[in-house]
Every structure is written in structure tokens, then in C-alpha cells.
Amino acid sequence: MLNQRGYFGPADHKLFGATHRSSDAPAGAALLCAPFGEERKCAARLLFETATALQQDGIDSLRFDYSGTGDSPGTHAAATISGWQADCRVAAETLQGAVADAKITGIGARLGANLLLGCASAEGSPSSHTCIRRFVLWEPLPTGADYLDEMIRRKQIKEAIGAGQVGEYSRETLWRDSNVVDFDGFPISATMADELASLDLMATLNNLPDCDVLILHVTGARKLPLNWQRLADLCADRQGFELRVIHDKPFWGRLDHYQADKLLNATRNFCLEA
């Protein structure tokens, strides 16, 4: 087994990543796509442990930094959703070239799941699609608009605690006076905000070609919220789709380490079925 870190991709689209090679003839391969911002920090160890576990199963994997994040070139302020989806395509093509005919499973966490899935959507030209047709989605965002609104609320709360006053923020007004707004050290441009707000998981799933999709909803609640129930209904009606509830802690909101065995085991089993 061999682990390597370094840059990959064409000269005009370099990315930094880490490969976990199992053997010269892997049983399969997996592309791991991380969440956004602080959630990426929280999920980093789990993604590494997933890659290590898959390596032990004979499955190669690739983890990578989106443009403008980690060690990849670019600035976060210039990042866009469409640009990060292009990163996913470059990473998928690189991994496919390394594993020859082995089937690739895409593993996406939170926003990473939406980015990865969007690359396989029937929308856009065929050249914009990835070679991946199997997906494990860890707590994907039902809508980007709700996610953006949640980040705006957190920004308001933190500023209220620090300054004793709350700014009047909304998606309509926040980027009015500045093209880039900082969210806890992660600058988001107006273009990024618009693209993020347009993400709709239901619409993306409906536009997918024939794929195998496992959605893992991580929650401590006994009842599905309305948006998740709609996703469950869609999966029940679509061959190859499954939504499974994982009763566990939110891996994307905790910096302290814990064993997410249920999530990890479900992911490993799905990858081994390829």
C-alpha cells in the first residue's frame, strides 16, 4: 500500500491532493469530496479514515483541495461553485487514469456531495460530466439557499456577541456594498453566493442519468423533516436510489474526534458492491 501527496491535473488546472493506493490492481476506486469552510475542518479526519479503510479493502482513493483552499492554487475569494465542480471533474479524470477500468465511487460530504452530484447531472454538455455513476452522499445540502441563509444567521449571531449589535443581513443586501463577504475567515464572492443559492438537490437528482445513489442522512431525530421526507420519497420511486438514516452525531459540526462507524461502514459496503 502506498500513500502519496502532491499536485495533479493539467498545467492550467493544478490541484493538490492525496492518493491512497491499495495495489497495482485495485478492486475499485473512490473520489472523496470535502465540505465547505469550517465543516471541512470538522470532516477532515473522517475523510482520511475513510480513505484508509477503503485502502485496506483494496480500493484506491483520492482526496483533494478545491481551488483556493488548502494547498491548491488560487484564492478563496475567487472561488465559485462552477469552478469547484470543474475541480471535481479534473480529480475524477485523474483518478480514472490511475485505476484504468476500476469503477469509481464518488463520496461527497455536505456541499462536496452537491458538487460531485452536479457533475453527473444531465444538465449541461456531455463534456462537463464526470465518469462517476455511483455516489455516496453524506448529509448533502437539500438546498444551497437554506445553507447560505444559515451561514448568514451564524454571522449575525457572532457579530452580536462580539460587538453587541446585530447587522441587518440578508442574501439580497449582504453583497450590495462589497463583492466579497467574509464568513469566519472564508470569503465568499457575490458569484459564489448566487451559485450556492441556486443549488437544489431534488432537481439535481431528477436530472441524473442512470446511477446508483446512496444518501446518508445523519441525525438524532426520529422523524424526517419535510425536505428530507421529499428526498426519501424520490429515492423510493427511483431504481438505484436509497436514502438511509444514520442515527449519529453531526460529523460536520464537531472538531473533537469520534468514531463515525455507522457512516463509515455503510460507505465501505457500498464501495465494495461496485
User: How confident is the model at residue 126, as a pLDDT?
Assistant: 46
> Hey, how many other C-beta atoms are within 10 angstroms of the C-beta on 39?
20
> Measuring CA to CA, how many Å separate 43 from each of 28, 38, 82, 234, 253?
23, 9, 22, 27, 8
Q: Name which residue leads in pLDDT, 174 or 136.
A: 136
When pLDDT is cut at 50, 70 and 90, the band that residue 164 belongs to is low
User: How confident is the model at residue 1, as a pLDDT?
Assistant: 65
Would you give the distance in Å from CA 44 to the centre of its chain?
A: 12
Among 198, 233, 210, 216, residue whose Cα is nearest residue 267: 216
Mean pLDDT calculated for residue range 240-244: 98
CB 51 within 8 A of CB 30: yes
Q: Name which residue leads in pLDDT, 198 or 254.
A: 198
Residue 177: pLDDT over 90: no
CB 33 within 8 A of CB 119: no
Q: Name which residue leads in pLDDT, 222 or 244.
A: 244
What percent of the chain shows pLDDT beyond 70?
Answer: 93
Mean pLDDT calculated for residue range 223-229: 95
**For 4-13, b where at least 16 C-beta lie within 10 A, e where not — what string?**
eeeebbeeee
Mean pLDDT calculated for residue range 71-91: 96
User: How confident is the model at residue 127, as a pLDDT?
Assistant: 47
User: How confident is the model at residue 167, as a pLDDT?
Assistant: 64
> Measuring CA to CA, how many Å separate 267 from each of 49, 62, 84, 107, 182?
12, 15, 23, 8, 34
For the segment 113-142, what is each residue's pLDDT rounded down to a tens digit? 999 998 886 554 444 556 798 999 999 999
124: left (phi over 0), alpha (psi -120 to 50) or beta: left
Q: What's the CA angle centered on 12, arms 45 and 44, to 5 degrees?
A: 5
DSSP E strands in 94-229: the ranges are 104-109, 134-138, 180-183, 186-189, 212-219
When pLDDT is cut at 50, 70 and 90, the band that residue 34 belongs to is very high
Mean pLDDT calculated for residue range 63-70: 98
User: Which H, E and C letters describe 7-56, residue by residue?
Assistant: EECCCCCCEEEEEEECCCCCCEEEEEECCCHHHHHHHHHHHHHHHHHHHH
Q: Which CATH fold would you assign to the domain 2-143+200-272?
A: Rossmann fold (3.40.50)
When pLDDT is cut at 50, 70 and 90, the band that residue 215 belongs to is very high
Which amino acid, one-letter code, is at 82?
Answer: S
Q: Name which residue leads in pLDDT, 57 or 130.
A: 57
Q: What is the pTM of this model?
A: 0.94
In this structure, the dihedral spanned by the alpha carbons of residues 181, 187, 191 and 195, taken in order and rounded to 10 degrees, is -110
Sequence ranges of the chain with CATH classification 3.40.50.1820: 2-143+200-272
User: How confident is the model at residue 173, as a pLDDT?
Assistant: 86
Which helix (H) or strand (E) is 204 found in, with range?
helix 201-206
Contacts of 33 by beta carbon, 8 Å cutoff, 6+ apart: 88, 91, 106, 107, 108, 109, 112, 113, 115, 116
Contacts of 38 by beta carbon, 8 Å cutoff, 6+ apart: 184, 186
User: How confident is the model at residue 256, as a pLDDT?
Assistant: 81
User: How confident is the model at residue 166, as a pLDDT?
Assistant: 61
